[in-house]
Amino acid sequence: MLRIKSILENKQPGESLEICGWVRTRRDSKHGFSFIELNDGSCMKNLQIVVDNDVPGYEESIKLVTTGASVKITGTVKESPGKGQRIELQATHLEVLGISDPESFPLQKKKHSFEYLREIAHLRPRSNTFGAIARVRNAASAAIHNFFQENGFLNIQTPIITTSDCEGAGEMFHVTTLDLARLAQAKTEIDYSQDFFGKPASLTVSGQLEAEIFATSLGPCYTFGPTFRAENSNTTRHLAEFWMVEPEVPFADLDDNMRLAEDFIKYVISHVLKSCQEDMEFFNLRIDKTVLETLHHILDHEFKRVSYTDAIEILTSAKKKWEYPVEWGHDLQSEHERYLTEEHFKKPIILHDYPRSIKPFYMRCNEDGKTVRAMDVLVPRIGEIIGGSQREERLDTLEGRMKECNLDPQEYWWYTDLRKYGTVPHSGFGLGFERLIQLLTGMQNIRDCIPFPRTPKNAEF
RNA sequence: UCCCCUGUAGCUCAGCUGGUAGAGCAAGCGACUGUUAAUCGCUGGGUCGUAGGUUCAAGUCCUACCGGGGGAGCCA
């Protein structure tokens, strides 16, 4: 099927072709012809179609050519006498495939608020912005796979359903086949042995633990799949269902990990800038006037490595009034992270070696007894886009940390086995795919960076 | 979950100190035009989120609930 993108790029006057798509707008001339702006999603631009009134069935058909209608058109490519396009299509046949009642079609030839478009998520991909987001998302996804494939990483599909009830932090969605309505009335303890898996099960919050299994068997690997968090988060950067990229690399320490994260982000940005030029220019013009500048700035500068302890020092000596006090041992607040990346360094930074008391059990303990080999990549505007660490590979230290975090090592027997049999230093991180899309497009709200956002009280479509 | 803002025609909003609703855009029709966010004219379209309350009278004040947005926390 011929697409408008390739027609606009390659076709020359004189060539005949057939094209299908959706009408964005129609302008009539009473002197006997009409202009149709046709879009098929292959690119931002529309193909201008000229329909003379001698086209068979013109009188009846042209009335049905309204915004949103689908049409099939045959015609000849012409040099366009008008401004705004190199070529246009002179129609010889026009067929309306599907009408679109202009009285009720929710998308109009005007700007719509993102809040409104979110309510019509089944139609918003037909708008300029959401078409562009879908194409950028696709390009970013392809770039992610390319990056890892080119570097010898194995793509691993880790489970969606899990029975390890404490993969990390975060509330989990329960998965059950038990009859909840009956249980609600029964007032007895729930007998999970009667449930589908014979014990409590949930949707995964991370594929990391399973990825570690393959990393310590087959070498560098990565997962790229859906992740679920049942947190009651209502922000512009949280979703209950989102996609996460999680590489895991054996024989790699935290420095290797930070280098990988930086190379990875730069590779994806660079690829998207190259393959989605038109869409990126649109974002820069209509969504965020600084997005191209920001992305190029990221490409041109090294991510600044800053230890948590140094960051605390910078924040303490900053001439700023903090809503939350800065104190070693406490997690950094949004205002602190934003200050560091947006004001102090003015570029992405990698914070590393956090206090062990605020980080999960699997992060490698440092000799100082106070910190762990954790790292967060923070970017301007979005904040944390990557969280990762070197993993604790020493069995006794790992078990000690589990107990410290009130976890039962028995529950993680297969995870600790990896330390019992041929343990190796290894590292990895998780990247929130939709946050990356936010960074790439300049879109303010993460709900507009995924086709069908799931947030508290919202799972339509 | 907490704090703040908000909910009026298909969409975006106005409606000041309470007296039963208006604009722009969209849509329909007409005019005009190789047009391109086209332009001009006319027309239709709203039990003002829901439920109570105060008042002679509420879109306008009060309460609760529901929805939307922003910020915070949690994190990716």
| CA to C1' distance (Å), from A171 to B1 | 13
Instruction: Report pLDDT digits (tens) over A168-222.
Output: 556 889 899 998 888 878 778 888 999 999 998 999 999 999 999 999 999 999 9
Q: Which nt sits closest to A430, CA to C1'?
A: B76
pLDDT of residue A165: 60
What is the mean pLDDT of the segment spanning A416-430?
96
Q: What is the distance, to the nearest Å, from the Cα of residue A132 to the centroid of all Cα atoms in its chain?
A: 14
Instruction: Report pLDDT digits (tens) over A83-127.
Output: 888 999 999 999 999 989 888 888 887 788 999 999 999 999 999
From the C1' of B38, which residue's alpha carbon is nearest?
Answer: A27
Q: Which nt sits closest to A116, CA to C1'?
A: B11
Which of A386, A418, A416 shows the shortest CA–CA distance to A247?
A: A386
| CA to C1' distance (Å), from A456 to B63 | 26
The pLDDT confidence band at residue A54, using thresholds 50, 70 and 90, is: confident
The pLDDT confidence band at residue A436, using thresholds 50, 70 and 90, is: very high
Enclosing H/E stretch for A226:
strand A221-228
Asked if residue A364 has pLDDT above 80, the reply is: yes
Place of tokens 């990895």: A428
- % of chain A exceeding 70 in pLDDT: 98
Q: Which nt sits closest to A34, CA to C1'?
A: B35
Which of A147, A158, A150 shows the shortest CA–CA distance to A223?
A: A158
| CA to C1' distance (Å), from A64 to B66 | 39
Domains of chain A: 4-98 (2.40.50.140), 124-159+207-448 (3.30.930.10)
Top mean-pLDDT range of A24-33, A75-84, A143-152:
A143-152
Bases on strand B under 7 Å from any protein CB:
1-2, 10-13, 25-29, 31-38, 66-76
CB A228 within 8 A of CB A168: no
Gap between the Cα atoms of A350 and A374, Å rounded: 10
Place of tokens 């080999």: A373
Which of A89, A63, A60, A57 shows the shortest CA–CA distance to A74?
A: A89
Average pLDDT, chain A: 92
Instruction: Report pLDDT digits (tens) over A225-241.
Output: 999 999 888 899 999 99
CB A211 within 8 A of CB A219: no
The pLDDT confidence band at residue A411, using thresholds 50, 70 and 90, is: confident
The pLDDT confidence band at residue A321, using thresholds 50, 70 and 90, is: confident
| CA to C1' distance (Å), from A66 to B40 | 21
| CA to C1' distance (Å), from A258 to B57 | 69
Alpha-carbon separation of residue A200 from A156, A193, A448 (angstroms): 24, 8, 33
Q: Give the β-pairing of A304-307 and A349-355.
A: parallel
Top mean-pLDDT range of A233-237, A380-384, A424-428:
A424-428
pLDDT of residue A117: 93
Burial class (CB in 10 A: 0-12, 13-18, 19+), A350: buried
